[in-house]
Structures are given as structure tokens and as C-alpha cells.
Amino acid sequence: MGLAQYADDGLFSPRKIADAFRTTSEEIARTSGLGKDAIQRRDRIRSDKTQRRLREMTEIINKVEPRFGTALMAYAWYRSEPLPGFSGQTAMQLVRDGRADDVLDYIDAVDAGVHA
């Protein structure tokens, strides 16, 4: 699905993301490396850091969704599957550490047949 499904008035919405993944906004904050405050206060939701982290997480999940069949399964992969070459870290852990670009590069490499 498109990234627009996760947005409200041009901003990524923690509530819409949580609804799509059948979880809570607090869990979305945790899995994207944000504090609970970042998804509860309107001014914090609008902040560059919050929007960047929510975009990175949804972009990664959106990119792998076709291989898993549903956004929910892609979200489960994001949270729990250790990625080869990253010391057993998951995509979620890498995003929380500010390494979303590494995850996207890994996905692109897998899609290109570089990683098996």
C-alpha cells in the first residue's frame, strides 16, 4: 500500500500507523525509536525527528510488504527478523539507532540478488 494511508493532513500519523499494524501508538513510538511524548503531543508529532522516524519505519515496511503479503506480516518482520551482516540486529533496532538507510540499502541489495 502507499505511504499516504499512514498520513493525516500531510503528516505521518502515529494513530493511523498503529491502526494499520493493529497495535498501539505507544508501540509505534517504541519501534521507531521515539519517546511516548513524541506521539502524544501535537507539536512533537509535527517535529522533524518524529516525522523522519515514522517515515523511515513505514517506508521500510512498505518496501517489504509485497514479499510478505500484508503490512502486518511486514511489520512482524521489521520487529523480529535479525538481518544478516548486522550482528543479529533487526530492522527495528537499526532504525532506532538511526540506521534506516542501511536497512533500505540491504533490502535493495536483497531485491537485486546480492544477498541470499
Measured distance CA(113)–CA(116) in Å, rounded: 7
pLDDT at site 34 = 93
Compute how many other C-beta atoms are within 10 angstroms of the C-beta atom of residue 106.
20
pLDDT by position in tens, the chain (length 116): 577 788 888 899 999 999 999 999 999 999 999 998 888 888 888 899 999 999 999 999 999 999 999 999 999 999 999 999 999 999 999 999 999 999 999 999 998 988 65
* Structural domain boundaries enclosing 75: 3-112
Please give the tally of structural domains in the chain.
Answer: 1
Question: Could you tell me the pTM of the whole model?
Answer: 0.88
